[in-house]
Amino acid sequence: MEEYLSQLNEAQLAPTIHTEGALMVIAGAGSGKTRVLTYRIAYLMHKGVDPFNILSLTFTNKAAREMKERIAQIVGKSEAKNLWMGTFHSIFAKILRFEADKLGYPSNFTIYDSQDSQRLISSIIKEMSLDKDIYKFKQVHSRISSFKNSLITVKAYFNNPDLMEADAMAKKPRIGEIYQHYVDRCFKAGAMDFDDLLLRTNELLNRFPEVLAKYQNRFKYILVDEYQDTNHSQYLIVKALADRFQNICVVGDDAQSIYAFRGANINNILNFEKDYDNVKTYRLEQNYRSTRNIVEAANSIIDHNKTKLDKIVWTANDDGPKIIVNRLPTDGDEGRYVASSIFENQMTEQRKASDFAILYRTNAQSRAMEDALRKRGIKYRIYGGLSFYQRKEIKDVLAYLRLITNPKDEEALKRVINYPARGIGATTIDKLVLAANHYKCAIFQVMEGIDRIPELKINAGTKTKLQNFVNMIKSFQVTNQTADAFTLAEEVTKKTGLVQEFKKDATPEGIARIENVEELLNGMRDFVEGQKEIDEATGSLAEFLEDVALATDLDKEVDDEDRVALMTIHLAKGLEFPYVYIVGMEEDLFPSGMSMNTRSELEEERRLFYVALTRAEKQAYLTYTLSRYRWGKLIDAEPSRFIEEIDDKYLENLTPIDSYRYKSLINTDIFGAVDKSKLRQTKPVSSTPPPSHKPTDDQLQKLRKLRPISKGSQKVDTETMNKLVPGTRVEHMRFGIGQILNIEGSGQDKKAEIKFTQGGIKKLLLRFAKLKVL
């Protein structure tokens, strides 16, 4: 047996060497699933499987890179580099580039990021003269995105009366038309958005049996990490590719499913056993990462969820310190507390800055943390938020580069055609767009043939300006034939006047902008150098742009500087830190006010909390405030229900509970009044205590049986609930005024279907919806 396999425990070894057939690995937090995936691939290769035949889909590019490095250490670099390993988006973007002509796309198609998509949708809404207050571009985008992720094409949409009716009821009857225009415009621009990378892959595999066969035969072994976060579109791709050999291994943890909001379907993992023949399921339940206190506290949280797979996470680690809970007056104080606590731990425990992470629910919370850390002189790095490649100045440079590789790219064109200002104004652009729509071609093509379209009525001066622009781009295209990406980019920033434009601004921000552009150019130089080492890569501009489009903030190489990490909980998935501070543990923030209306949304927030807590190896801190700045205003806050849900024995409260402030929405009746007699009622009923050492199989069986499925502990005043009958007019905090159409379910699960004057029909769980009878 290979030496590396001895590093695995029994539970990890079994799925690692089970190479044939379909298997599912349910892996608790910190149970070593990455190790299983890595060694499994190494093992396959040792058994003689060609790396070309292995497809491994990961959640981030960083995870892929790290796994590849690890595998390279075991099987050798030259073998490992042939593995197909990456995110769904990056792997299938490569395949789509190769097969693009079959779908009528150019192989150098652009990838639109969310901002590009939203700008395009915005302009479509404007061109259709629709009310932008009703058709909000972000909402429309997310609606279209969800269609695409469910494989609902424009045609399918118009064939589905339910969907159309739902949009009509929401006062947005023209969503379908917007969708139609959006798809057409993307296609015409030679652009795919993020969702297209999956949708078009499905199209490719469905429409072309020979292509399907080719990739089925190629990918004899398929591995999917974070399977619980795959959406329907991804699910179908995997299913199609695995169909022939059925050598598929999916790894996931239903308790860490946190992407339902972008279409992830938890049923993919819950139903895996039905999808393939003879599925073998393995469980990794021993946590190696965290102290027992943290593991058990996390278990006590997830116990509140109804929908979950049977799984008991335990650890042999020490108890460790309790989770510290602290209440602070404001968000500023919260930041100062966290900063000084980090400072203290650094001193007393001799810890590096990189041993600490501050996790929050929303990016907006980072500011208070930053300020405090900066004042204390603690180095930090913020991940996510406005990522490097989303900054305006970077996008400006990239837009020129995009336009050079794909002149049809409409969003890139509109971004730079008059930046820096060259006298091509909105009127002219509108005319061009109109003509492009009319002739069903790209704007750039209209500009090239401007002399042949006299009806445009563009005056001679403007015409010259347009021609100069076209010629400039064309000359860059010539350069692109011979020069590498870095050389070209340098020329572009100079000749377009971008550099001069940026230099006009001498403010600190302006200087930072120039530095960012320099950093981008340096990054391109590194890229060109790096690509020379890879066989298939050409170091072309197109390749660089693809990497950039699909890069996440986590992927960016950083100097090895020792810094505290600040990020959202979503971004922290898969990472671990000795010390973790989870800040903003307040109702309406975490759980988010947007996610408290249905049980499933609330359960997702709870899983998010579970993810946050299980990032901690040694010590976790939870903080909340009494009031915090939101939307520029100081507003009152109350502690998150999630704090209450953890059994007290795992917590050390630095600020004992002040009973009148400590009210949770659960205890608030539907009229908003607080029933003080019920204040402490939601303390978790002590369930079967989690085992403190490795349980025997017998014990595990028993625990699984005893495990309560639902708590159903909150009582709601039935009398007030009974007032809510169909026809009642009610007011909701967020959705405004509406009328109850229907009531369903009973007791704790009673739901009302409500038609709101604005925002359409919503189904709300009465226990959580703060409804006022009118």
Partner DNA sequence: TCATTGGGCTTTTTT
Partner DNA sequence: AGCCCAATGA
State the Cα–Cα distance between residues 582 and 587, nearest whole angstrom.
14
For DNA, give the closer residue by CB, 33 or 573: 573
Instruction: For the CB of residue 369, give the shortest distance to DNA in the complex, in Å.
Output: 14
Place of tokens 């340096």: 522
Q: Does the footprint of DNA cover residue 470 (CB under 7 A)?
A: no
Please choose, from the candidates 404, 403, 423, the residue with its C-alpha nearest in 3D space to the C-alpha of residue 415: 403
Q: What are phi and psi of 624, to 5 degrees?
A: -145, 165
Q: How many angstroms separate the first and last alpha carbons of the chain?
A: 73
Answer positive or negative: Cα dihedral of 120, 126, 130, 136.
positive
Token pair, residue 731, equals: 């007011």
Q: What are phi and psi of 746, to 5 degrees?
A: -145, 170
Please choose, from the candidates 313, 259, 229, 145, the residue with its C-alpha nearest in 3D space to the C-alpha of residue 569: 259
Binding residue count for DNA, defined by CB under 7 A: 50
2 catalytic? Reply is no
DSSP 435-495: HHHHHTS-HHHHHHTGGG-GGG---HHHHHHHHHHHHHHHHHHHHHHHS-HHHHHHHHHHH
State the Cα–Cα distance between residues 542 and 485, nearest whole angstrom.
9
Q: Does the footprint of DNA cover residue 596 (CB under 7 A)?
A: no
Footprint of DNA on 609-648 (CB under 7 A): 629-632
Catalytic-labelled residue, pool 62, 615, 641, 750: 615
Q: Does the footprint of DNA cover residue 571 (CB under 7 A)?
A: yes
Q: Does the footprint of DNA cover residue 548 (CB under 7 A)?
A: no
Catalytic-labelled residue, pool 110, 230, 256, 315: 256
Q: Which stretch binds DNA (CB under 7 A): 128-136, 373-381, 442-450, 682-690?
A: 128-136
Using CB under 7 A, which of 47, 138, 374, 474 touches DNA? 138
Using CB under 7 A, which of 21, 106, 332, 384 touches DNA? 384
Query: At a CB cut-off of 8 Å and minimum separation 6, what does 404 contact?
Result: 473, 476, 477, 480, 488, 492, 541
Footprint of DNA on 503-532 (CB under 7 A): none
Q: Which stretch binds DNA (CB under 7 A): 63-71, 82-90, 512-520, 748-756?
A: 82-90
Query: At a CB cut-off of 8 Å and minimum separation 6, what does 496 contact?
Result: 400, 416, 420, 472
State the Cα–Cα distance between residues 379 and 746, nearest whole angstrom.
53
Alpha-carbon Rg for the chain in angstroms: 28
256 catalytic? Reply is yes
SS (H, E, C) 90-140: HHHHHHHHHHHHHHCCCCCCEEECHHHHHHHHHHHHHHCCCCCCCCCHHHH
For DNA, give the closer residue by CB, 484 or 587: 587
Q: Which stretch binds DNA (CB under 7 A): 240-248, 439-447, 588-596, 613-621?
A: 588-596
Between the alpha carbon of residue 129 and those of residues 126, 135, 201, the distances in Å are 5, 10, 33
Q: What are phi and psi of 46, to 5 degrees?
A: -65, -30
Q: Which stretch binds DNA (CB under 7 A): 133-141, 488-496, 647-655, 736-744?
A: 133-141
Token pair, residue 480, equals: 């692109």
Instruction: For the CB of residue 194, give the shortest distance to DNA in the complex, in Å.
Output: 4
Q: Does the footprint of DNA cover residue 568 (CB under 7 A)?
A: yes
Instruction: For the CB of residue 634, give the shortest distance to DNA in the complex, in Å.
Output: 10
Footprint of DNA on 140-179 (CB under 7 A): 142
Identify whether 578 is preceded by a cis peptide bond (ω within 30 of 0): no
Instruction: For the CB of residue 587, give the shortest distance to DNA in the complex, in Å.
Output: 13
For DNA, give the closer residue by CB, 88 or 314: 88
Using CB under 7 A, which of 223, 339, 416, 550 touches DNA? 550
Q: Does the footprint of DNA cover residue 108 (CB under 7 A)?
A: no
Per DSSP bridges, beta strands 627-630 and 356-360 are unpaired
Footprint of DNA on 59-78 (CB under 7 A): 60
Q: Residue 120, exposed/middle/buried by CB under 10 A (0-12, 13-18, 19+)?
A: buried
701 catalytic? Reply is no
Spatial contact of 56 and 325, defined as CB atoms under 8 Å apart: no
Instruction: For the CB of residue 89, give the shortest distance to DNA in the complex, in Å.
Output: 4
For DNA, give the closer residue by CB, 508 or 632: 632
Q: Which stretch binds DNA (CB under 7 A): 46-54, 135-143, 166-174, 299-307?
A: 135-143
682 catalytic? Reply is no
Catalytic-labelled residue, pool 33, 361, 573, 762: 33
Using CB under 7 A, which of 20, 133, 535, 559 touches DNA? 133
Q: Does the footprint of DNA cover residue 264 (CB under 7 A)?
A: no
Catalytic-labelled residue, pool 167, 195, 226, 285: 226
Q: Does the footprint of DNA cover residue 268 (CB under 7 A)?
A: no
Q: Does the footprint of DNA cover residue 136 (CB under 7 A)?
A: yes
Spatial contact of 538 and 480, defined as CB atoms under 8 Å apart: no
Q: Does the footprint of DNA cover residue 346 (CB under 7 A)?
A: no
615 catalytic? Reply is yes
For DNA, give the closer residue by CB, 106 or 384: 384
Footprint of DNA on 13-52 (CB under 7 A): none
Q: Does the footprint of DNA cover residue 595 (CB under 7 A)?
A: yes
For DNA, give the closer residue by CB, 214 or 262: 262
Spatial contact of 384 and 568, defined as CB atoms under 8 Å apart: yes
Instruction: For the CB of residue 552, give the shortest distance to DNA in the complex, in Å.
Output: 3
Instruction: For the CB of residue 17, give the shortest distance to DNA in the complex, in Å.
Output: 30
Catalytic-labelled residue, pool 99, 225, 331, 645: 225
273 catalytic? Reply is no
Spatial contact of 343 and 376, defined as CB atoms under 8 Å apart: yes
Q: Does the footprint of DNA cover residue 422 (CB under 7 A)?
A: yes
State the Cα–Cα distance between residues 35 and 332, nearest whole angstrom.
40
Mark residues 354-373: x for contact with DNA by CB under 7 A, - for none. Answer: -------xxxx---------
Residues at the contact surface with DNA, assessed by CB under 7 A: 60, 87-90, 113-114, 119, 122, 126, 132-133, 136, 138, 142, 194-195, 261-262, 361-364, 384, 392, 418, 421-428, 462, 550, 552-554, 568, 570-571, 592-595, 629-632
Active-site residue list: 33-34, 225-226, 256, 615
